[in-house]
Amino acid sequence: MRSEGSVAFALRLLLRSVCLREPVEALAAEIPELRPAARRQASLYRVGEAPARRECEPSLEPLRAKFGEGALRLASQIEQPRSRLVLRAWKEGLGWI
């Protein structure tokens, strides 16, 4: 689970199986092994996996035909503005949030 919404959804599913006979005033949930999720780009297919690439290509070809070959790029190929790079370096170097 990678978001507050997915945790809330899971809790709602768990509560469906509970039979409540009285109104509930408060509810608490303990998640002892909670840690921040690593932010990563969701990928259409893994690099080097030919079968997955073949499945995606029919969907991507109309986009390439309409918007050009450069319309679809990996996130790592998009150049970041200098101001964002400076802020990232400042945050990593000084611990600024």
Does the pTM surpass 0.95? The reply is: no
Q: Which of 2-6, 21-25, 27-31 has the highest mean pLDDT?
A: 21-25
The average pLDDT across 7-23 equals: 84
3-state SS track over the chain = CCCHHHHHHHHHHHHHCCCCCCCCCCCCCCCCCCCCCCCCCCCCCCCCCHHHHHHHHHHHHHHHHHHCHHHCCCHHHCCCCHHHHHHHHHHHHHCCC
- Which pLDDT score, from 0 to 100, does residue 52 have? 63
Segments making up each domain of the chain, as ranges: 1-38
Mean pLDDT of the chain: 80
> Has residue 45 got a pLDDT over 70?
no
pLDDT tens-digit series, residues 49-89: 666 667 777 888 888 899 988 888 877 788 889 999 998 88
> Has residue 97 got a pLDDT over 70?
no
Higher pLDDT among residues 6 and 95, named by residue: 6
